[in-house]
Structure 1
């Protein structure tokens, strides 16, 4: 397969990977969708989108019908498998083995720049699927200026699950990713990119790993600048807090009751559709197609990974919120930042400057939370412009 040959002989176990969901799993999913009851109509779920109450019962009914009658998993599976993918075996700092799944586009160029791109929640590495297709249309593998790695975060899809007997945090993810890059011979100098949870992973790579020379973010949560500085904004009042709470109620649930929400959504595909589908509908500037939304949800279901994918939320608002401090420290690595106005937390560029060595930024007029999914050409342009600016300096 094109773009599938690593530039160096790996020093870690590396095996090609393709998705092949058994027929019986697909049939079981369809049966569960059919048997799941649609709740009755209420004031809250009629025209819920207009009222700001989430997805409506009608949206659920129509999407369920499409899932059963028109959605073609095998078609989506073939599209995903058209991109090279692997599983690498690496060890954490305690010597425990993890398998990290990733898609990759490897270049034949000797001077290709390694870039690792980290997804968020409720996404997956397939957030970058359109980006991979755009890149392949733009560059042959002989011309591609980059080696691109798109990992599945531990706990998501095809990577190892988070451990059952110990804590696991963003710091652990960063360590494992750095080990993957080193094992591929790309760890001495690379750039990291990410949004949402991926922005925290990317920031951790920049903070803790010398091989990461610069980072690019399409989401960053930082506190307002201190009073008396030009970047300062007024503190929130009650209206602002209530607006925030409407957007982040899911966050508090996943942070404070991860067991309950994990068990609820891991046991019923219609519940999973409601919880995750809502985010794609509300957090995107333009709602993705039903095929796209259902592919994410189907993958979560087939891999039974929703309960393990929300581990990072306790470090923001849950029981471990004061343990992980990387995002509170100033980021000294050169940083690029792409601002999208429909992001759920549209942090302005001047706030990011207070927490980062910000050397490049771009403010867009459109775009939402799922930057790579919504506008792969736009994000690619941003990353390429950032890399062209910083790489000549940081690669010395």
Structure 2
């Protein structure tokens, strides 16, 4: 399959089935006096689901999504969905942005115009990008893997083919967070000749520090990281343990219940964002529900969770990365990396500490992130 235009058009049958399910919910109990500490709060979720059932308009959101130039092509047997928006400037730099879980390609919807058309947003037209935002295999409108082994490394191979063979770029930039950070780092490690630089908002959980038994070889910052990471995994890492070991068992419930799906995803948007416990500070109900809907209408929550299993079981080791690397770290993100480890493992040429924002960087602080990406790549442009 060559590159073909793609238009989102969810069937009425899927939407009618969703409406039926939202009208026939069996709610669990919740202990008196508890709210979010044991998982998604029942009262909040009832309010969100009521809005979903009675007021949320998927067709309106679908029309907004279809304003982006979207395409699909087949790479290594998997149909890859992606946004491809051309830059408005004298020499746009191609930039591939990779999302993570539990978000989708929508993670980057707010920064696409800031990067493609900086002149319209207070920037310099010479800093424009051709922006490519794929959906990871098994996520949203991309196809689902039918064989095991689609991990961050394999996705990086697919992205290299997408950018060079399908879209014809000889060199390009790459950026990402969460799973997208891992994919971007494997791109840089495997195809350094293709990359002008990479931009990251995190480096994931640093397993080598977590498993280190020689405390004397660690810096004080690294020892603190190890302690905080252990605490975070014990308190917040349950989802990761399940998705890394038994994603198929989880998939049955989340694929069958829209309320179960919403509870599983919304809790992460609350815990990992800079919202101080109040989701509405950062995300509108429509925003949250559109993210949930991407998983629901495509039935991809099970296939998306599988990348955790693959990354835990089939991912090759990653060596030092020599490609120029920019880090933009947001204070409420998960486990900010120690600078000493990061500089030992990446060729860090820009390190920015942001004043606000959490894990969903491009959704929470699009202007801050877009500005940092533009400034990082400005001296690296061919």
**Deviation digits for residues 178-205 of structure 1, max 9, x if unmatched?**
1111134444211110000000110011
SS in structure 2 of the partner of residue 100 of structure 1: strand
Q: Any conservation in 1 of the 2:326–2:376 contact (CA below 8 Å)?
A: yes
Q: Any conservation in 1 of the 2:69–2:83 contact (CA below 8 Å)?
A: yes
Q: What displacement does 1:24 show?
A: 2.2
Q: How many Å separate the matches in 1 of 2:137 and 2:227?
A: 37
| Change beyond 3 A, Cα 1:315–1:21 | closer
Q: Any conservation in 1 of the 2:70–2:81 contact (CA below 8 Å)?
A: yes
Match of 1:360 among 320, 345, 350: 350
Q: What displacement does 1:166 show?
A: 3.5
Between stretches 238-247 and 77-86, larger displacement belongs to: 238-247
Q: Any conservation in 2 of the 1:338–1:362 contact (CA below 8 Å)?
A: yes
Q: Is 1:336 paired with 2:326?
A: yes
Match of 1:117 among 85, 92, 97: 97
Q: How many Å separate the matches in 2 of 1:275 and 1:267?
A: 13
Q: Is 1:213 paired with 2:196?
A: yes
Aligned-pair RMSD on alpha carbons? 2.4
Q: Is 1:147 paired with 2:144?
A: no
Q: How many Å separate the matches in 1 of 2:44 and 2:332?
A: 21
Match of 2:145 among 156, 159, 162: 162
Q: What displacement does 1:111 show?
A: 2.6
Q: Any conservation in 1 of the 2:361–2:369 contact (CA below 8 Å)?
A: yes
Q: Is 1:369 paired with 2:359?
A: yes
| Change beyond 3 A, Cα 1:133–1:47 | farther
Output the TM-score relative to the length of structure 1: 0.86
Q: What displacement does 1:162 show?
A: 1.1
Q: Could you say which residue in structure 1 is the equivalent of 2:3?
A: 14
Q: Could you say which residue in structure 1 is the equivalent of 2:68?
A: 83
Gaps of 5+ in 1: 1-11
Q: Any conservation in 1 of the 2:219–2:340 contact (CA below 8 Å)?
A: no
Q: Could you say which residue in structure 2 is the equivalent of 1:127?
A: 107
| Change beyond 3 A, Cα 1:172–1:239 | closer
Q: Is 1:387 paired with 2:357?
A: no
| Change beyond 3 A, Cα 1:179–1:137 | closer
Q: How many Å separate the matches in 2 of 1:236 and 1:336?
A: 20
Q: What displacement does 1:116 show?
A: 0.3
Q: Is 1:268 paired with 2:246?
A: no
Gaps of 5+ in 2: none
| Change beyond 3 A, Cα 1:136–1:232 | closer
Output the TM-score relative to the length of structure 2: 0.89
Q: Any conservation in 2 of the 1:114–1:186 contact (CA below 8 Å)?
A: no
Match of 1:285 among 264, 274, 279: 274
Between stretches 118-127 and 142-151, larger displacement belongs to: 142-151
Q: Could you say which residue in structure 2 is the equivalent of 1:58?
A: 43
Q: How many Å separate the matches in 1 of 2:231 and 2:96?
A: 36
Q: Any conservation in 1 of the 2:225–2:335 contact (CA below 8 Å)?
A: no
Q: What displacement does 1:32 show?
A: 0.6
Q: How many Å separate the matches in 2 of 1:387 and 1:237?
A: 32
Q: Any conservation in 1 of the 2:225–2:338 contact (CA below 8 Å)?
A: no
| Change beyond 3 A, Cα 1:67–1:344 | same
Q: Could you say which residue in structure 2 is the equivalent of 1:314?
A: 309
Structure showing the higher helix proportion among its residues: 2
SS in structure 2 of the partner of residue 89 of structure 1: strand
Q: What displacement does 1:229 show?
A: 5.8
| Change beyond 3 A, Cα 1:357–1:231 | farther
Q: What displacement does 1:175 show?
A: 1.0
Q: How many Å separate the matches in 2 of 1:77 and 1:183?
A: 30
**Deviation digits for residues 233-276 of structure 1, max 9, x if unmatched?**
33678886344311211100111111111122111101000000
**Deviation digits for residues 316-345 of structure 1, max 9, x if unmatched?**
5x4x1xx42344x21111111111111122
SS in structure 1 of the partner of residue 335 of structure 2: coil
Q: Any conservation in 2 of the 1:19–1:77 contact (CA below 8 Å)?
A: yes
Q: How many Å separate the matches in 2 of 1:219 and 1:366?
A: 15
Q: Is 1:32 paired with 2:17?
A: no
Q: How many Å separate the matches in 2 of 1:362 and 1:79?
A: 32
| Change beyond 3 A, Cα 1:230–1:103 | same
SS in structure 2 of the partner of residue 334 of structure 1: strand
Q: Any conservation in 1 of the 2:98–2:180 contact (CA below 8 Å)?
A: yes
**Deviation digits for residues 274-300 of structure 1, max 9, x if unmatched?**
000111111111331111111011110
Q: What displacement does 1:132 show?
A: 1.9
